[in-house]
Copies of this chain bind each other. A is one copy, B any other.
Amino acid sequence: MKNSLTQRTINRLTQYHTILRDYAKKDVENITSSQISLLLKIDETQVRKDVKSINCKGKCKVGYNVLELKNIIEEVLDYKVKKRAFVIGAGNLGIALSKYSKFSEFGLEIIGLFDVDKNKIGQKIDGKDIFDLKTLGDKIKESGVEIAILTTPNKVAQEVASYITQCGIKYIWNFAPTILSVDDSVKVWHENLIGSFLQFCAISVK
């Protein structure tokens, strides 16, 4: 199912989910497409189309059941499938991502950070250890973790990417603004804050 959804639809569904979570906390039973569209400043027909595309049905004049729609989104987007990852690079971005509470809520569990800086190794971030990057191979064997979130400085990103894939990392979520060259068996998602920002500019800045 998820594979058939576009990135923009997935983005909107996660935003609906954020609203539904807030409504659920306040014990609100139903929500209308109009309420969602007003909060997100998007077209109401878009909301209806998205919700219909994941097979959730609303009732006329009542709207959608908050918990039902929330659960369907969680199932469609695999929120409940645990995805364990290491953060490579305990700089500001690596630390920020390790503390980002919403990740764990949605199935992503960061179970440790790695760095080469002796002043950082041994410290803890939100209860997660910062390990010596040299020990990554052993930690992968112990834990079975195959996902790395790469947040190193740009100039060492390629070297580190080659190293961590040799250690056994199979999936890289790359925050360094460079295109990584890795073995064909390794999957890379190039995070693109610039792309997102340019999209924002398209709607905003003259």
Contacts and interface: CB of A to CB of B under 8 A. Distances in A.
Number of copies of this kind of chain in the complex: 2
Mostly helix, strand, loop or mixed at chain A's interface? Answer: helix
B3 A179 contact: no
A104 to B, nearest CB: 11
Contact of A96 (B3, B15, B92): B92
Contacts of A202: 2-3, 10
A7 B78 CA distance: 23
A14 B92 contact: no
Contact of A178 (B18, B91, B108, B200): B18
A179 B22 CA distance: 9
A200 B173 contact: yes
A187 interface: yes
A195 B39 contact: no
A201 B195 CA distance: 19
A15 B58 CA distance: 40
Contact of A10 (B18, B19, B195, B204): B195
A190 interface: yes
14 contacts: A3-B202, A7-B196, A14-B194, A18-B179, A39-B181, A92-B95, A96-B96, A97-B193, A101-B177, A102-B177, A106-B197, A147-B204, A171-B204, A191-B196
